Every structure is written in C-alpha cells, then in structure tokens.
Amino acid sequence: MKRFCIMIALLILSLCSCTSEPLTSLESGIISNIPLEIRAEDINAKAALLTNTWSGPLGIYRVQNNLIYFYDYSSDTVIPLCNKPNCKHEGDDCNAYVPGSHWITGDSKFLYLYSADGKTAPKIIQTNHDGTNRNDKAIISGNYSLLDGFKLDGLFCFCAQYAVEGKDSVEPITKMALLAVDTNTNTIKEIYSEEVDTSYSYKFLGVSTGNAIFQKMSETKPLTSYSQAALDAEMNGHDCKIYSVELQSGIISELINDKSYNIDPVIMDADKLYYHSRKDSQIKSYDLKTKKVNIITENLSGYIVFLDTPYVDGKLLFQKDNATTDAYAKPLKENETFYVNTNNGEIKKVAFMIDQGEGHKCPFLGFVGITPDRFIVETEQSVDWSKVITESGIQMFPKDSIGKSVFGIIRKDDFWQETYNFIAVEWFVSKDTGKEEGGISYVTN
C-alpha cells in the first residue's frame, strides 16, 4: 500500500549545544536504569518532520548529493554552504560536505544533520549556521537503522529497527523499541520494546505532549478476484490501531481501534490526528488532549492520500486517489490535489501542476519547505519520456529518466491566490555520471 510505509521503532535523541565528547549509543537491546527527564519545552513543542530542507531565520538550507546548500532570503541566491575560496566541495575539508547526509534541521544557534555514509557509524552532526565549527553530537553504534524522524525543542525522535538472535530459530528477530538519548546527561534509556509482528505495518505519526503516537495496520492480502469490489473489500478490511507510548514511563495506551474503512489514511499535526472515513465520506480530526472527534468536511467519497506536508495555514492538503477509486477504468484517471479549509470545511482544488515537459503535467505533490511567509515548491521535472515505462496504464519512471528538478520559491499569499510568481532554483544532474555538476544555478522567471 503506497500510503503506508513500514516504520518499526522510535529513537529519541536529545541534542544540546554543549561541547562534551559525542555520545555513543548502547548496543541494541541494552537497557539503562537511569531515569529519563522530559523537559517541559519538549512536551509543549510542536513536532517538526525531519527532511532534507530546513527553513532558518536567514535562509533555507538543503542537503543533496552530500552537500549543504543555502538560499539567502536577502539576495535570492543559492550557494554551497562553504566560505573557502576555490573549494571543490568534494571532501571533509569543505564546510558544505556531509557524506551520506539525509536530513537537516536547526534552531536559533546551530544546524543539525544526520550522516550515514555506510563506512562509519551513523551520527548526528552539529555546526554553526555558516557550516563552521562542526561537532559529532551523537554516534549511533550497535546495529540500529534509523528511518523517519521528528524534532521537538531539544529532542530528536526517530524510527529505527534492529535485529537480535532468535532463541528457537536460525533467523534473527526484528525488534522495535522506544529509546531515549539525552546529551544533556549523557544517558540512554530503552523505554519500550517488542518483537515486530510481521502481519502488521507500523507507522510513526509524531510526538505530542510527551507521547509518541503510532499507527498499526494489518498487511495487505491477495485479492480474491481482479475487480473493484474485491479491491474495495481488501482496502476496507484492514485492522487499524492508533496508540501512544508515554516517553517518561513507557506506558502504552490505545486511542483508536477500527477498520481501515473508517480510518485511512491518518496523519498527525501538533495535537491532532486527521483521518478519512470512506464509510462516512468524511475527513475527521481527533484531539489527542481531549479525545474528542470533530467532522472537518463531508461528502468526500472514494480514496484519498494526504500529502507529505499535509497541514499548512489551516488547510489540509490531500490527493483524490482516482486510480484506486476507479482502479479498472480505461484509461486510468489522473489523481487530483485539493485542500480543505479546516475552519469551514470548504474543499478547493489546487490549480498548480508540475511541468514534466512535452506537454505532460502531474498534480502538485506538496511543499518541499515552508518559511513564515514563503513556500518551496517543485515546479518542473525534466523527464526523458523515451525511458518511461507504461504497464497496464501505470507509468513508471526509472532513475535515469529524471534529468533535472526545478524548485520555486513563492510567497504564501501568491500560492493560495493562484498567482504563481516563482523564483526558480535548479539542481542539475549529469546524465552520464548521475552526479551533480556545477552546484546550483540560480534562475529568475
């Protein structure tokens, strides 16, 4: 199911600006009895999803192809985050070079990055906003594999997995755990762990008021027949459970237990869950503090998918998944992007579409980055259509078919009012080597 990724643990990392030796994690499965203290700042903070783009007070930072790039608000220019003259931006001597970098975030003082190059142990890196004064803040030893994550105030929350030897089986057992790493006290605590139930998929939704929120859904089964009725029966029959794990104590509490017909998909923003009920043709919200359910909008039948940045400025962004709602239509119907105003329930289609060349366009996919007054949006995809594969009406894009992406900076008011005045930024990729050439080229529309 494309709306569900397997995320099978949570790793909590608390980062600070201290200059002590980097904290090295315990081996997987070892439990510390040192009490964990969750600060009020982290309980009250809104969890922010970690991505390869972070919007800071002076500009926008992005990691791509092992380099940090910086978009300066004041000059509307983009450069590698390196102040060394004649630097080729290829090695550890370069301030912008971070091998195996996956995400970047920051606060008023520092940038934080996750580096996993496959050669050394994964680590959390701290630097100044200009890329200087780099320090390793946490080294992830053992056999943890980190997946998606969120940032609170001083806590970084990650999905992770690890394997242990089975007692009665040759095959290793995959474990899921809730761990806490506190660099203020240099302690690690395993709050919660269990053996993964392979008949379920796990999704880490976020962190709210001192609780990690998970979704657990039974896996897809083979269709009984190739028909819309059989597909609907399968899609609507999954067990769906939402539960919380308290960071302080590890206590588990079940919040929602229902079928996917009534709660799918699910996303989280701040202290609320948002989900679609195909049964009622409604989008609903669930308040994690009061446990109350509220109807956001009605008369929304069929399947939908929430975007990766689903809740912005009081608007909930989603796609109508027409290819699933009418899966056997010939030709398949294109998906469409909409948003619903959570204050009045009004639904409006997003007019903007991504230009893929040769007359092809695809629906808006979400915001790459968000600042207080601007959005970063993917505006163009350079596609070699001779390499695109079409099977049963479904288009598949091999890696070498995508040559270039253009990302536009646009003011929020202009986007919502459909006045698409972008400042375009291009990331070039060599078709011969697959590597970036010449950094970033700044282009003005």
pLDDT digits (tens, 9 = 90+) for 286-302: 999 999 999 999 999 99
C-alpha dist (Å) from residue 439 to 261, 305, 360: 47, 34, 27
Hey, is 77 helix, strand or coil? strand
Q: How far apart are CA 236 and CA 145, in angstroms?
A: 32
Q: How far apart are CA 353 and CA 284, in angstroms?
A: 27
Hey, is 117 helix, strand or coil? coil
Over the stretch 35-61, which tens digit does the pLDDT of each residue have?
A: 566 777 777 778 788 888 888 888 889
C-alpha dist (Å) from residue 178 to 15, 32, 207, 263, 336: 17, 12, 12, 25, 37
Is position 298 within any domain? no
Closest CA to 271 of 210, 209, 342, 313: 209
Is position 356 within any domain? no
Task: Calculate what percentage of the chain has a pLDDT beyond 70.
Answer: 79
Per DSSP, the chain holds a count of helices (H) and strands (E) of 4, 36
Is position 152 within any domain? yes
Q: What is the pLDDT of residue 429?
A: 36
Over the stretch 344-394, which tens digit does the pLDDT of each residue have?
A: 999 999 999 998 887 888 899 899 888 888 898 888 877 777 777 776 556
Q: How far apart are CA 163 and CA 83, in angstroms?
A: 42
Residue 105: its H or E element: strand 101-106
Instruction: Mark the ranges of the chain whose per-residue pLDDT is less than 50.
Output: 1-33, 428-445
Is position 350 within any domain? no
Is position 28 within any domain? yes
Q: What is the pLDDT of residue 184?
A: 60
Count of structural domains, the chain: 1
Hey, is 373 helix, strand or coil? coil
Q: How far apart are CA 395 and CA 311, in angstroms?
A: 28
Is position 239 within any domain? no
Give the rounded distance of the alpha carbon of 190 from its chain centre.
Answer: 24
Is position 163 within any domain? yes
Q: Which two tokens stand for residue 11?
A: 């790793």
Q: Which two tokens stand for residue 429?
A: 């990729």
The answer to whether 258 and 266 are in contact (CB under 8 A) is no
C-alpha dist (Å) from residue 117 to 99, 114, 121, 389, 429: 6, 10, 8, 31, 20
Burial class (CB in 10 A: 0-12, 13-18, 19+), 204: buried
Q: How far apart are CA 286 and CA 292, in angstroms?
A: 6
Q: Which two tokens stand for residue 125?
A: 């890196």
The answer to whether 241 and 215 are in contact (CB under 8 A) is yes
Closest CA to 424 of 349, 336, 354: 354
User: Which residue segment(s) compose the domain that 74 sits in?
Assistant: 1-200
C-alpha dist (Å) from residue 290 to 255, 294, 297, 423: 11, 11, 20, 43
Q: How far apart are CA 382 and CA 109, in angstroms?
A: 37
Give the rounded distance of the alpha carbon of 231 from its chain centre.
Answer: 28
Closest CA to 411 of 429, 423, 399: 423
Is position 57 within any domain? yes
The answer to whether 8 and 162 are in contact (CB under 8 A) is no
Q: Which two tokens stand for residue 115?
A: 């580096």
